[in-house]
Structure 1
Amino acid sequence: MFGWIARIIMIVAGVVTGLFMARDAPLFGVVQTMVMLLLIAVAVTALAFWPESRPFGRRRDR
C-alpha cells in the first residue's frame, strides 16, 4: 500500500519537475526528489490541520 502511494507521489513530482526542467538535465533526479519531499510535507500538513478546518458550530465538545 505504501509503495503505491510513494509511486503516485513520485509520478506527480516527475510531472511537476518536467514542467520546469528537461528530463535529460543532470539535476533532474535531485529536483524531482525535492519536489516529492515538498509534496509529502504539504500532504502531512494538510492532514494534520484537517480537524481544525471544520466550522465551529459543528465541533463536538467533550
Structure 2
Amino acid sequence: MSVLLRVLFVMAGFITALFVARDAMHFDLVQTWVAILLAIIVLAVGGVWAMRRKT
C-alpha cells in the first residue's frame, strides 16, 4: 500500500512541478491536492472498469 502511495505522490510532484515552482510556499499544499485528484481519478476508473466487466 505504501508503494502505491509513494508512486502517487511522485506523479503528483511531477505534475505539480509543471505548474508551481518547487520553492513556492504552497507547493506541498498543491501537491497534496493533485495527489487527491489523482487518487479520485484512479478509483473512478477502477469503479467504471469493474462495472463494465460485470455486464
Query: Which whole-Å CA distance do the structure 2 matches of 1:53 and 1:46 have between them?
Result: 11
Which ranges in structure 1 are unaligned for 5 or more consecutive residues?
none
Residues 4-56 of structure 1 deviation map (CA, whole Å, 9 limit, x = unaligned): 000000000000000001000000000000000000000000001103445xx
Runs (4+) of structure 1 exceeding 4 A deviation are none
Aligned residues: 54
Q: Which has the larger radius of gyration?
A: 1
RMSD: 1.2
Separation (CA, whole Å) in 2 of partners of 1:7 and 1:51: 24
**Normalising to structure 2: TM-score of the pair?**
0.90
Q: Which has the higher contact order (CA 8 A, sep 6+)?
A: 2
> TM-score, normalised on structure 1?
0.81
